Amino acid sequence: MREMARSSGSRKMSTFYLLFSGMAVLLLVSWPGLVVSSRPTANDSVKAGNHEAVKKDFLNWVDKVGEAHQAHVQSGTVRIPYRDPDQILLAAAGNTITVGAGGQYSSVQAAVNAAGNTGRTTIVINSGTYEEKITVPKGKLITFQGNGNPTLVYGDTAGSAGSTANSASTAILADGFIAIGITFKNSAPAPSGGAVGKQAVALRISGDQGAFYNCNFYGAQDTLYDQAGRHYFKNCFIQGSIDFIFGDGQSLYQSCQLNSIAQPGQGSLTAQKRTGNENTGFSFVGCTITGTGPIYLGRAWGPNSRVVFIQCNIADIILPSGWYDWGVSSRENTVFYGQYECSGPGANTSGRVGWSMELTAAQAVPFETVSFIFGSSWLQT
């Protein structure tokens, strides 16, 4: 269980330095299962050795994504022309159900239950706060279209719900789900690092070909459970503290804001779970990273975890090492972490761990487009 893996074990002391008025101040942070420590710099021989150990496998992945990108270039579908999501839905809404003031239903789940299993159903959710647990089951083709930025919220945790997955305020099990202008929220209080059973998911998606436009995701530990499948997030706001974008999805995040509310030394933006030779990973393109820190860009939840940040603006909230191996040193030889042309004070790669990569322009291109998620065959924008 993921909760046990992160909470059990002896308490370790995390160490890092901050500079105040020219003086180095040593901070010790107690966080079970997570050690914040100094890492090899670009000038260390250790970094060079580890770099070569992972380079071959990493570049194999780059080549594979690149092949898909070239196929899209040849077919003319590498960049799908952007259309306003509201116009897309107007043209292809199919059946429409309205929730909230003036609508047929007062509950989002009741509207989901009423949706048929043939063709797409658009559920227009009027402004307001809907405090309920929502599940979109397999077999239903559904769009949530927000009218006035409605909020879907519940306050379960892994402890109260029995597992991290079950804590989700909204769970998307169906393929082809679309959300536009919706706020997904878990209202459980933010825990300290290492707290047991406090994972609290705002949205979990395990269906394939899911797309989110102009959506907000609010939580703390484990806000967005990108569990499985291919997903696209455009112009979204995602807030959390510990591992707040996590799972084993194959997902592209474009022009999103990732906002940390983590306590110093007790957070991570991502925890990608790839295991074995899966075609999964997270690509963040043109995103803005803000909030509190210092935190990690990512932790290796899975032994073959994959995450890249491309042309992102990163505030001064990232630990110099950038990445954490989950306390399993063997993962340093099998994870795939990279950056390309990121800006801002948190983007400096000189202190990054030796098992992370700096991509070239040619290597970065396939991760910048929908080729990464084979999106030309299913995305509507």
Residue 252 domain flag: yes
Instruction: Retrieve residue 23's tokens.
Output: 């003086």
Run means of pLDDT, 10 residues per run, the chain, 381 residues: 39 33 34 37 49 63 68 56 50 78 97 95 97 98 97 98 98 98 97 90 98 98 98 98 97 98 94 93 97 97 96 98 96 95 97 94 88 88 50
Question: Residues 295, 343: one domain?
Answer: yes
What is the span of the domain harbouring residue 103?
Answer: 82-238
Question: Residues 69, 161: one domain?
Answer: no
Residue 20 domain flag: no
Query: In this structure, what CATH number is given to the domain that contains residue 348?
Result: 2.160.20.10
Question: Residues 91, 76: one domain?
Answer: no
Integer angstrom CA distances of residue 2 from 66, 171, 173, 192, 283 = 32, 18, 20, 17, 23
Residue 338 domain flag: yes
How many angstroms separate the CA atoms of 51 and 47, rounded? 6
Question: Residues 320, 267: one domain?
Answer: yes
pLDDT reported for residue 93: 52
Please count the structural domains in the chain: 2
Contacts of 112 (CB under 8 A, 6+ apart): 123, 134, 135, 136, 137, 140, 142
> Which of these three, 238, 267, 297, is where a domain ends?
238
pLDDT reported for residue 45: 52
> Which of these three, 238, 256, 276, is where a domain ends?
238
The pTM (predicted TM-score) of the whole model is 0.82
Question: Given CA atoms 226, 230, 231, 232 in this order, what sign does their dihedral have?
Answer: positive
Question: Residues 94, 75: one domain?
Answer: no
How many angstroms separate the CA atoms of 327 and 34, rounded? 7
Question: Residues 218, 131: one domain?
Answer: yes
Question: Residues 60, 172: one domain?
Answer: no
Residue 130 domain flag: yes
Q: Catalytic pick from 243, 248, 316, 325?
A: 243
* Active site (annotated) includes residue 243: yes
Cα atoms in the Cβ-side hemisphere of radius 13 Å centred on 229: 21
pLDDT reported for residue 79: 54
